[in-house]
Structures are given as C-alpha cells and as structure tokens.
C-alpha cells in the first residue's frame, strides 16, 4: 500500500469514516495551516481524532494513530475567521511517522486496503446488525426512520458498519474502535456488540423513563387535584378559614395543661373540624365542644389558706351572731385540715330564706381563698341538668356542675348547691342520683358529664348545700350531709344585723357614706316590726336598700344632704306599715283559735276559724288544706263527738249543724297534723260558745282519744309567735327538749305551757264563760278531771 506524506487535521469529538460526506468548521490556527498545505497537494488531508476533545493544542501523543484520508471538496470562509469545509472520506489511514507538529502536523501515513468480499459469515453479521439497528432506531427515536432504508441497501459489509456507526451517538473511543477494525468482519462484530450494549441501555432507559413518568403522572395528578380543590374551597370561602381555625385551637391547646386523655380527645375533635366545611351544622357543635374543653380548669387550682384564726375572723366580720353555726363550720374545717383530705360529709345549711346561708358559704370561700360558685337546684327535675346532654342532642350543653366549674375557673372552688330540697323527680330521670355521684367522695374524682364525655375530677371541690326544709331532702343525699340548722333571727338579732352589716352594705352599694344617713335603733326596730315579717333578714335588707335609694336621690338633689330617718318620717320612705305589730287578733273571740305553723320562710301565726250553720253535721274545710290537715280536722271532730257530754255540748249537734273550718290566708296551701289541737279548740269554742284567749297560741297533733303528740319546727314556731307578740304558747309535752334551742331572751319573755291532753289545752286557752258562769265552768271542770 502506498505511503504518503500528508498534512493532519486533529478532530475534536468527531470521527470521520470513509465514504462519509460532511461539513467541518475549522478554527484552530494549526488546522487552518494544515488545510492550506492540503490545498496545495491534491486537496487531500488526514483527519485524526484527538483522544480528549478539550485539549486545544494537542501533542502527537494526544492523537489516535488511525484516521481517515479525506478529499476537501469545498472551503468557505465564515465571518470570524472560521473556515467551513466540505469533506468526503476516502480511506482508512495509519500514521507511520510524525514529520512535524509545528506549525501544523505533518505525518507519513499508510493507506489501508479494505476487502469488501462478502462471506456467509459477514452476510449473517450484516443482517443481524441491520436488525439491531432497526430496533435501535425504534427505541432511541433519535434517528429518522428513512435512514434505515438507505442503510439496508448497502452491500459492502465494511461500509455498512461505517455508515451505521456514523449515525449512532457513541463515545469517541467506541467509534474509534470501529474505525480501527480494518477487517469488515471484525468491524461488524464490534458494532454488533456495541449495538447490543446500547440497546440494553436504551431498554433500561425506557423502563426508567416509564417509571419516572408514571411517578410524575401520579404526583402531578395529586398536585393538580389538590390545587383544584384549593381553588374550589377558596371560591367557597372555606379552606383558609378552617385551617386557621384549627391552628388557633391547636395553639390554645398548647397554652392549657390538659390531662392526656383530654388532650387526645381534643386533638381528635380538631382533626374532625378541619375536615368539615365550616358552615356544617356539625362544625358548630364541635366548635362549642372545643371551647368547653379548652376552657375547663382541668388542672388549675388555688392554694388553700387553712388558718382557722383567719377563717374565724372572716366569719365574724361578715356575720353577726350565728355562734353555734360558726363553731360547727370551724370544727368542720379543722377536721379537714388535720386529716389533710377533702373527703368527708358535705355541709348542708338548713334554714328559712334570708338567714345567711349563701353569705356564710361565700365567707368560707373568702376565708379559704377559694373561688366561689353557686347554682340553684330549685325546680331541677331532669338528670341531664346535673349531668348534661349527650352531644347528639340539638343544643346540648354540659350539666350545671360542669358549668359551675367553668365559671369558677378553678377545679377546687367552694361550690354552693342551693335548694337541694327543691329538686323533683320525674320520667326524665332522677337528678338526686346524679347529685349523689357528684357528692360522693369515692366517685367524684371521675365525674362523667354526658356532654364533655371525658371524666372530670371533682374531688378537690368543696361542696356546700342549702335547704329550707330538711324533710324534703332526698334521704340518700341527707345521709351524706352534715346538717347545720339556722332557725332564724329574733328581733334583737335583726336590729343588730341591720346596724352592723345591712345598713353599711346598702350605703356602699348606693354610693353613700355614713354621714348621709342617720337611722336610729328604734326606727330599725320599727321597720323590723311593721314592714317585715320573716325569719331571715332578706326583706329587712330590701327595705333598707329602699331607704338608701331614696336617700341617694335626695343627696344628689340637694348636694350633701343628710337624711335622718325616724318613726315619724318613715312612711315617706317605705309607705304605710305593711304588718300590724302585736297580736294577730286583738280581741277574744268565739270560734277562733291561734295556731302556729312552720313554713318555708320560718314560722307564722295561723288563725283557725270555725263557724256553725244549720245543717246535717257536714264538716266543711276551706283554706287549701292538705290531706293530713283534713284528716286531722276529722280526728278532732270525732274526738269532740265522743266527748260531747263532758264538754257540755248538745249531743245532737251533728244532726243540726254543719261545721265550717276555715284557715286564712285561703290561697296558701297548708298541711300537716300540727294544727290538730288548734282546730279542736276552735270547734269546741264554737260549740260551747266560750271565747278563746287571743294571747295564746298553740301547736300539737291530736289523737282520737284527745292525746297531744309532739310536732316539728318548734323553734321557728316559737320565734314566729314571739314576733307576733304572743305571750303564751301551748306545746306538746314531748317538745320540751326543743326549748333548749330557743334564744334565751325569747325564752324569758314567753310562757310555755306543756300539755299531754286536749283537756289541758282547753283549760289554758278557753276563757271562762262570763254569763251563766257556774254552768259553763262546771261542765269544763268535769272535762278537766
Ligand atoms: P339565704 O341564703 O339563707 O337565703 P342570704 O345568705 O342570701 O340568705 O342572706 C340574705 C342577706 O342577709 C345577705 O345580704 C346576708 O349578708 C345577710 N345576712 C344574713 N344573716 C346575716 C348575719 N348573721 N349577719 C350579717 N348579715 C347577714
């Protein structure tokens, strides 16, 4: 083969195969010079690839030793000094010797002969390469499909390999290896190997692409959908509000110290809220619920001040008298502080209205430095009022206990349950059984309210209850409580309470000072007697408030005015007297006897009137008398009928007269057996025409044989009689023990007559008949033996 002296042009990143026609842009100085040299000699130049494309000034060692001799067909100078040449590959050439490398490469090179003889083997190789190439084109999608048809027409095995290689995107060293395979068979084999490898890679690439695309599609789809949802929600004005709201709740939750169980519940509810359109009815329910949960004082507690001296001082400061009650309270607290536990019986303050039950409880809270809450149980007849309604209920709320705790903002307040005796039971469940759970120290550390669903610890709460009437407190509740009785005040005590507490309190409340109002003790007593009739001091306080308001008006009108209230000008402030002080009846009368009754508001006088009318022995009872009282009237009548002779009564009276018993005031219901002897006395008076002493009051149950049985509420009854100016009171002998509870000054001013039998009552209460004295007294004497 011929050896030629040729200029050399180093190629960067390209390999030119024989039979290829292509453009090259030449910019390097040495390359341009090589081109110039070539133009001088038959337009031939050797193209050899650099091993590394980035080298600008290659040395001989940077060049492959096998290249292609090309014919320069065209040269075009481009602006900027670059020369575009069109070359056509002719033959493979091997460099034998480098003649020089400056200013351009010049080599001695040998042109290589290529055999184009087809053997069966090369034929087979050609076919398989073509098949591979076809698959390659399909897989890579970078080569136009037409190429396949031109390529498949090539007959020469070597040329086929060269052309296919020139279309592949391969690395330089791979292409160079094809160039260097001079034998077409070798060349096809190498190409087949490279194609196989490339296809594996392409296949892998395809799989990866597919996977990536699937993944992409999925995330893209989610992203797209989410964006769309956001847009819709935004359009409806929901999303942002809702997440902001949930965040707000979460922040709030961080600020309060919640027990684990509660926290879990709250988190769950917040999540539910988040998923819900904010206008949904259910969302409103959840919001209210969360507000409740986050505002309850789950772990907020106040420190107790268990200094009994201070407690005593504060109780004395706030309340006049009530010595025994205060003592009991102090003892109760002492035991609690010694045993260091809050468990124990619950205090129950029992007494008529206005005797200071509520204000005592308030003082206890003040003394212990605890929060104070009060709920009234009067009229509660539904268990749900104590324990709350389930959330499924429309407008459900927690029960009153939890409401009170939220109001207290501490989990250990003094909690006053007012009027435990006024609860009632019906088909909606028994509130007292729920209350039992509240008050039971064994159970109340996990009190369950239907609304809040998680248990609340009530064990640190100090419960105090109040009642007007011991007898209507449900028995199981009463068993758990320590009853303290506040019977009511005497006139003296009321005057003192007014002077020391009520007047100052009302002055303050009306923005007045002591200088603005003068009110003497005598005037206060007058108010007590003629403007109030009660066991407590509630109305008294109201009257004083009335005076203070009017005083305030005058003080404002005539700047700095000082008001002096006396008996003479009292009516200007309070109107005419409301009650007549003194006896209920001012004269002795026939058929009228004075009883005393126990009422919710203490005691009261009860005049019983009896009148006889022509008739057939009917007993008419009016004045809203209850069953027991009616029976008691019948018992009294039966007793009288069995004793007509001894009593000096016409034995046929029941055939000639109807008897009407009336007890004013007619609109107020009355009941109980304690008016038995009073009704008997009034009937006997009416039948015998003997007057009853109007200065005597009486109480006692009567049996068919005329025995007098003990009654309840003696203390209140005696105080009421005293209030009304009664001097003598007839009581059953078995009630003698109750006298100990009556204040000394009242006891000293009254005469107590204890009786066992109705005859003794008659002796003390009925006057001797003035006319025809001998006969009447004679009859009476008989009865008294
Ligand atoms: P209750 O709860 O028994 O119905 P309150 O506690 O409401 O009665 O008392 C009514 C008013 O009378 C309150 O203003 C209270 O301060 C006052 N009060 C009652 N008893 C006394 C007392 N012994 N000393 C001072 N104020 C009293």
Q: Are 784 and 759 in contact (CB under 8 A)?
A: yes
Cβ–ligand 1 contact at 489 (below 6 Å): no
Q: Where are the alpha helices (DSSP H) in 648-772?
A: 653-656, 676-688, 714-723, 744-749, 758-765
CA-to-CA distance for 310 and 321, rounded, in angstroms?
17
CA-to-CA distance for 239 and 230, rounded, in angstroms?
7
Q: How far is the CA of 93 from the centre of ligand 1 (A)?
A: 126
Cβ–ligand 1 contact at 496 (below 6 Å): no
Q: Are 467 and 350 in contact (CB under 8 A)?
A: yes
Nearest to 102 by CA among 239, 26, 8: 8
Q: How far is the CA of 353 from the centre of ligand 1 (A)?
A: 9
DSSP secondary structure letter of residue 499:
I
The structure tokens 């039966």 sit at: 638
| Closest C-alpha residue for ligand 1 atom 26 | 319
Q: How far is the CA of 357 from the centre of ligand 1 (A)?
A: 6
| Closest C-alpha residue for ligand 1 atom 18 | 356
Record the tokens describing residue 362, joined without a space.
Answer: 């308030």
Q: Are 686 and 679 in contact (CB under 8 A)?
A: no
pTM: 0.60
Q: How far is the CA of 500 from the centre of ligand 1 (A)?
A: 12
pLDDT tens-digit series, residues 513-525: 888 888 888 899 8
pLDDT at position 773 over 80 = no
Q: Where are the alpha helices (DSSP H) in 353-502?
A: 357-368, 383-387, 400-408, 431-439, 475-479, 491-497
Q: Which atom of ligand 1 is nearest to the CA of 362?
A: 6
pLDDT at position 621 over 60 = yes
CA-to-CA distance for 277 and 283, rounded, in angstroms?
7
In the beta sheet, which residues pair with residue 730? 698, 753
Name residues whose C-beta falls within 8 Å of residue 509's C-beta, 6 or more positions apart in sequence.
Answer: 545, 548
Cβ–ligand 1 contact at 356 (below 6 Å): yes
Cβ–ligand 1 contact at 537 (below 6 Å): yes
| Closest C-alpha residue for ligand 1 atom 22 | 319
Name the active-site residue from 674, 685, 769, 783: 674
Judged by DSSP in three states, 761 sits in helix
The structure tokens 């003990």 sit at: 710
Cβ–ligand 1 contact at 495 (below 6 Å): no
Nearest to 592 by CA among 659, 721, 692, 699: 692
**What is the separation of C-alpha 732 from the centre of its chain, rounded to a whole number of angstroms?**
56
Cβ–ligand 1 contact at 416 (below 6 Å): no
In the beta sheet, which residues pair with residue 97? 108
Record the tokens describing residue 114, joined without a space.
Answer: 């290529």
Confidence of residue 119 (pLDDT cuts 50, 70, 90): confident
Q: Where are the alpha helices (DSSP H) in 141-259?
A: 146-152, 157-167, 172-180, 184-236, 239-255
Name the active-site residue from 670, 715, 717, 769: 717
Cβ–ligand 1 contact at 352 (below 6 Å): no
Q: How far is the CA of 556 from the centre of ligand 1 (A)?
A: 29
Record the tokens describing residue 73, joined without a space.
Answer: 């067909």
CA-to-CA distance for 115 and 441, rounded, in angstroms?
112
Q: In terms of residues, how long is the chain?
A: 785
pLDDT computed for residue 769 by the predictor: 60
Strands of 414-418's sheet, edge to edge?
372-376, 414-418, 462-467, 346-350, 481-485
% of the chain surpassing 90 pLDDT = 29
Q: How far is the CA of 374 from the centre of ligand 1 (A)?
A: 15
Confidence of residue 211 (pLDDT cuts 50, 70, 90): confident
Plot region of 17 (φ>0 → left; ψ -120 to 50 → alpha; else → beta)? beta
Q: Which atom of ligand 1 is nearest to the CA of 418?
A: 2
pLDDT tens-digit series, residues 660-677: 999 887 666 777 888 899
pLDDT tens-digit series, residues 490-505: 878 889 999 999 999 9
pLDDT computed for residue 616 by the predictor: 85
Our answer to whether residue 674 is catalytic in this structure is yes
């Amino acid at each position: 083969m011929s050896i030629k002296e040729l200029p050399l042009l180093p190629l960067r990143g390209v390999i030119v195969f024989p039979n290829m026609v292509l453009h090259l842009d030449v910019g390097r100085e040495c390359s341009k010079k090589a081109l110039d040299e070539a133009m001088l000699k038959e337009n031939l130049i050797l193209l050899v690839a650099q091993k590394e494309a980035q080298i600008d000034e290659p040395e001989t060692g940077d060049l492959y030793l096998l290249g292609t001799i090309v014919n320069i067909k065209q040269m075009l100078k481009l602006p900027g000094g670059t020369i575009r040449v069109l070359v056509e590959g002719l033959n493979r050439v091997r460099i034998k010797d480098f003649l020089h490398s400056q200013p351009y490469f010049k080599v001695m090179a040998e042109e290589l002969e290529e055999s184009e003889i087809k053997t069966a083997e090369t034929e087979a190789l050609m076919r398989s390469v073509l098949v591979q190439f076809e698959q390659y084109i399909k897989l890579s999608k970078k080569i136009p499909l037409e190429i396949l048809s031109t390529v498949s027409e090539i007959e020469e095995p070597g040329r086929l390999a060269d052309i296919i290689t020139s279309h592949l995107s391969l690395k330089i060293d791979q292409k160079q290896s094809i160039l260097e395979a001079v034998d077409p068979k070798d060349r096809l084999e190498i190409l087949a190997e490279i194609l196989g490898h490339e296809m594996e890679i392409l296949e892998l690439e395809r799989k990866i692409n597919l996977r990536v695309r699937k993944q992409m599609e999925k995330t893209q789809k989610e992203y797209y959908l989410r964006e769309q949802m956001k847009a819709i929600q935004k359009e409806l004005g929901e999303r942002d509000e809702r997440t902001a709201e949930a965040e707000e709740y979460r922040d709030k939750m961080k600020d309060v110290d919640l027990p684990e169980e509660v926290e879990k519940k709250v988190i769950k509810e917040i999540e539910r809220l988040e998923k819900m359109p904010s206008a949904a009815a259910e969302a409103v329910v959840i919001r209210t619920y969360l507000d409740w949960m986050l505002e309850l004082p789950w772990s907020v507690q106040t420190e107790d001040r268990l200094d009994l001296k201070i407690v005593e001082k504060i109780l004395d400061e706030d309340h006049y008298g009530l010595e025994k009650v205060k003592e009991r309270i102090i003892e109760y607290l002492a035991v609690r502080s010694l045993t260091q536990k809050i468990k124990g019986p619950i205090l129950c303050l029992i007494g008529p209205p206005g005797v200071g039950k509520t204000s005592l409880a308030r003082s206890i809270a003040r003394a212990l430095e605890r929060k104070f809450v009060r709920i009234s149980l009067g009229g509660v007849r539904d268990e749900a009022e104590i324990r709350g309604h389930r959330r499924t209920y429309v407008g459900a709320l927690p029960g009153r206990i939890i409401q009170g705790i939220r109001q207290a903002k501490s989990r250990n307040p003094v909690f006053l349950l007012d009027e435990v005796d006024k609860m009632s039971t019906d088909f909606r469940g028994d509130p007292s059984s729920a209350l039992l759970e509240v008050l039971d120290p064994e159970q109340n550390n996990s009190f369950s309210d239907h609304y809040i669903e998680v248990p609340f610890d009530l064990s640190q709460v100090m419960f105090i209850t109040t009642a007007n009437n011991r007898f209507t407190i449900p028995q199981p509740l009463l068993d758990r409580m320590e009853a303290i009785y506040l019977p009511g005040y005497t006139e003296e005590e009321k005057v003192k309470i007014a002077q020391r507490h009520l007047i100052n309190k009302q002055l303050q409340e009306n923005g007045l000072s002591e200088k603005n109002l003068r009110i003497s003790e005598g005037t206060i007593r007058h108010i007590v007697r003629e403007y109030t009739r009660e066991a407590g001091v509630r109305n008294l306080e109201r009257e004083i408030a009335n005076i203070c308001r009017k005083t305030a008006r005058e003080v404002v009108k005539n700047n700095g005015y000082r008001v002096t209230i006396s008996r003479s000008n009292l009516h200007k402030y309070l109107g005419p007297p409301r009650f007549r002080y003194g006896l209920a009846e001012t004269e002795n009368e026939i058929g009228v006897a004075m009883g005393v009754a126990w009422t919710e508001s203490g005691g009261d006088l009860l005049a019983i009137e009896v009148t006889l009318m022509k008739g057939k022995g009917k007993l008419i009872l009016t004045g809203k008398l209850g069953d027991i009282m009616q029976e008691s009237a019948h018992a009294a009548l039966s007793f009288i009928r069995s004793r007509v002779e001894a009593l000096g009564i016409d034995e046929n009276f029941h055939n000639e007269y109807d008897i009407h018993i009336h007890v004013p005031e007619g609109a107020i219901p009355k009941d109980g057996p304690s008016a038995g002897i009073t009704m008997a006395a009034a009937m006997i008076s009416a039948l015998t025409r003997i007057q009853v002493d109007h200065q005597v009051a009486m109480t006692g149950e009567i049996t068919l044989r005329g025995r007098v049985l003990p009654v309840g509420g003696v203390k209140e009854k005696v105080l009421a009689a005293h209030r009304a100016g009664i001097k003598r009171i007839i009581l059953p002998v078995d009630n003698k023990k109750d006298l100990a509870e009556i204040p000394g000054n009242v006891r000293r001013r009254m005469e107590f007559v204890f009786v066992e039998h109705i005859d003794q009552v008659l002796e003390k209460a009925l006057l001797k008949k003035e006319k025809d004295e001998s006969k009447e007294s004679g009859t009476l004497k008989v009865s008294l033996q």
